[in-house]
C-alpha cells in the first residue's frame, strides 16, 4: 500500500503449517516494480489475477500496462563504503575507492581492506554496429556477473551496473542506448536469481552518482534512474492512466491496408500463425510469412490453404531475418503494387539456464533471432513509410525471469528499439507478452509442475482471443509514435 496511487491490495493465502499462513502479494499496476513477478507485460498483456475468467470480458484498455518512472526518496541511512571498478575517470564518485577490476578488489579484501557494501561498475557505450555492441556489452557483463557470484569474500556486497540513458525515464530522454538496455534485461534476471546481489542505476548524459545512492539501492529499489537532481524508480501503470495514449476515434482507419503487404517473421510458428489468421480476419490481403524453415514448417501448407480460402494472398518463405543480405533480398521481392506497410517481428528462441551456467555462445544464440533480426528489420525498412512496426517482446525482459537472462536481454533490447524508433519519428511498438495459453515452440516444454509453479507466482496464461484483442488495442492507439 506504499505504492503511488494504490487503492487495493490483493493477498493470496496458503497454509504454511499448523495455525500458520503464508501470504503472497501479486504485482499490481502502480506497485513497486518488480516485487512478485507476475507475467504482465510492460507494453501489452493482462495483470495476473486469480479471477482471470471473471476478468476476461473486462475492457482491454485497463489491461494494458506501461512502465513509468516516478520520483522516490532514499531512506535515511549511515554512509556505507562504496567501491568503483574501472579506470579512475570512468565514473567519478565522491568518497569511493577505485579498483581497476574485480580481481584487484578481491585481492584488496583478502589483504584486509574493508568489504564495500556497494560496488559500482560503469557500462560505457560500445563501439561498432549495434548487434556487435549488444553482444559485447552483454557478454562482458555476463562474465562479470559469474565472477562476482563466485567471489565468496564479496557475498554480502551488491554489484551495481551504472549505465547512461539505457532507459527512457522521462519524455525528453530521446532514444535509449540499446546495448545498455540489453544489459538491464540480463541483470534483471540476475536480480531475480540472486536477490540483493545486483542493482541497476541509469544516469543521463551529465548526471553524477548522487549522495544516498547506496541506501536507496539497498532498500526496495534495486533499479533507479537519475535525471537532474531526482531519483526515479520504475512502476507499472495502465497506459490510459499514464496519459500516454488516446484511442483513435475511428478504429476503421486502423485496419490493415488491403493493398499493402504485411510481413510476419516467425510467421509459421504458433503465435505467428495465430496472428496471420487474425490479420486476415481484420482485412489484410497480402501476407508474407518468413521463417527459418519456410514452406517446410509442419503447418505451412495447411496455414496457406486456410488463409487463401479466406481471400488472402500468402507467401511463405525461408529467410533468416538475422542475415542482413537474406532479408534485403526478401524485401526487394515485394511487388510495388503491394508495398510493405506492416512488420510484425514474432521470431525467437529460448535456451534457459541460470546465469552461472550461461556462456557468451548461449547468450549470442538467443540474441540473434530477436535482437539482430529486429535491428535488420529496423534499418532496412526505415525509409519505406511503414504504418506499423510491431515487436513481439516478452515480460521476461521487464521482470527479469529467473533462468532466462539471455532471453531477458534480447527482449529488453526489443523494448528499447521501439523507443529508439519513436525517437526518430518512426512507428514502433513493443508488446511484452506474458504466457499464452496456446503452446508454442518456446513454451511447449512446460509441464504441469512448471505451470503450477507459474500459477503460484501469479502468472495466468492469456487465452488466444484475449491476447489478440490486446494486440488490436495498441494498434488503434498513438502509442506506436508517442
Q: What is the pLDDT of residue 449?
A: 62
What's this model's pTM, rounded to 2 decimal places? 0.85
The pLDDT of residue 314: 96
pLDDT digits (tens, 9 = 90+) for 425-477: 999 999 999 887 766 555 555 556 655 555 555 667 788 888 898 888 754 45
Task: Report how far residue 188's alpha carbon sits from residue 443's, in angstroms, rounded to the nearest whole number.
Answer: 21
**pLDDT tens digits, one per residue of 327-352:** 999 999 999 999 999 999 999 999 99
Half-sphere exposure of 481 (CA within 13 A, CB side): 13
Low-confidence ranges of the chain (pLDDT < 70): 1-62, 75-78, 211-212, 214-215, 218-219, 240-255, 438-459, 474-482
Residue 442's pLDDT is: 53
Contact (Cβ atoms closer than 8 angstroms) between residue 10 and residue 16 = no
pLDDT, residue 1, reads 40
CA distance 279 to 221: 41
Among the listed residues 198, 217, 201, 240, the one whose alpha carbon sits nearest the alpha carbon of residue 30:
240
Residue 374 is predicted with a pLDDT of: 98
Amino acid at each position: 500500500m506504499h505504492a503511488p496511487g494504490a487503492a487495493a491490495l490483493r493477498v493470496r493465502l496458503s497454509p504454511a503449517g499448523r495455525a500458520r499462513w503464508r501470504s503472497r502479494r501479486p504485482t499490481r499496476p502502480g506497485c513497486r516494480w518488480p516485487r512478485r513477478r507476475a507475467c504482465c507485460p510492460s507494453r501489452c498483456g493482462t495483470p495476473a489475477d486469480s479471477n482471470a475468467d471473471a476478468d476476461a470480458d473486462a475492457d482491454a484498455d485497463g489491461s494494458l500496462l506501461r512502465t513509468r518512472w516516478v520520483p522516490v526518496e532514499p531512506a535515511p541511512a549511515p554512509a556505507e563504503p562504496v567501491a568503483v571498478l574501472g579506470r579512475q575517470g570512468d565514473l567519478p564518485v565522491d568518497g569511493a575507492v577505485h579498483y581497476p577490476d574485480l580481481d584487484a578488489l578481491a585481492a584488496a579484501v583478502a589483504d584486509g581492506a574493508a568489504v564495500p557494501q556497494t560496488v559500482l561498475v560503469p557500462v560505457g557505450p560500445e563501439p561498432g554496429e549495434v548487434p556487435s555492441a549488444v553482444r559485447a556489452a552483454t557478454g562482458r557483463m555476463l562474465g562479470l556477473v559469474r565472477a562476482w557470484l563466485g567471489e565468496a569474500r564479496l557475498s554480502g556486497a551488491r554489484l551495481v551496473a551504472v549505465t547512461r540513458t539505457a532507459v527512457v525515464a522521462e519524455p525528453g530522454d530521446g532514444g535509449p542506448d540499446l546495448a545498455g538496455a540489453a544489459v538491464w534485461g540480463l541483470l534483471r534476471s540476475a536480480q531475480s536469481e540472486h536477490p540483493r546481489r545486483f542493482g541497476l542505476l541509469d544516469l543521463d548524459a551529465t548526471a553524477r552518482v548522487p549522495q544516498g545512492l547506496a541506501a536507496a539501492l539497498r532498500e526496495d529499489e534495486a533499479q533507479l534512474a537519475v535525471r537532474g537532481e531526482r531519483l526515479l524508480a520504475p512502476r507499472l501503470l495502465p497506459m490510459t492512466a499514464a496519459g500516454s495514449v488516446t484511442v483513435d476515434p475511428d478504429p476503421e482507419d486502423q485496419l490493415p491496408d488491403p493493398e499493402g503487404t504485411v510481413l510476419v517473421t516467425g510467421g509459421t510458428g504458433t503465435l505467428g500463425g495465430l496472428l496471420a489468421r487474425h490479420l486476415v480476419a481484420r482485412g489484410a490481403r497480402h501476407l508474407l510469412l518468413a521463417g527459418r524453415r519456410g514452406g517446410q514448417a509442419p503447418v505451412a501448407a495447411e496455414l496457406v490453404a486456410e488463409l487463401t480460402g479466406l481471400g488472402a494472398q500468402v507467401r511463405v518463405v525461408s529467410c533468416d531475418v538475422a542475415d542482413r543480405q537474406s532479408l534485403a533480398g526478401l524485401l526487394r521481392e515485394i511487388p510495388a503494387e503491394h508495398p510493405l506497410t506492416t512488420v510484425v517481428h514474432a521470431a525467437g528462441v529460448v535456451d534457459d539456464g541460470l546465469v552461472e551456467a550461461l556462456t557468451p555462445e548461449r547468450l549470442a544464440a538467443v540474441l540473434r533471432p530477436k535482437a539482430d533480426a529486429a535491428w535488420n528489420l529496423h534499418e532496412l525498412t526505415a525509409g519505406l513509410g511503414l504504418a506499423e512496426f510491431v515487436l513481439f517482446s516478452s515480460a521476461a525482459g521487464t521482470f527479469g525471469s529467473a533462468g532466462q537472462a539471455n532471453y531477458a536481454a534480447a527482449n529488453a533490447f526489443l523494448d528499447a528499439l521501439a523507443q529508439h524508433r519513436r525517437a526518430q519519428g518512426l512507428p514502433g511498438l513493443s508488446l511484452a507478452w506474458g504466457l499464452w495459453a496456446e503452446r508454442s515452440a518456446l513454451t511447449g516444454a512446460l509441464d504441469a509442475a512448471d505451470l503450477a509453479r507459474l500459477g503460484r507466482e501469479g502468472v495466468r496464461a492469456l487465452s488466444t482471443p484475449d491476447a489478440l484483442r490486446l494486440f488490436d488495442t495498441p494498434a488503434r492507439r498513438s502509442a506506436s509514435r508517442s
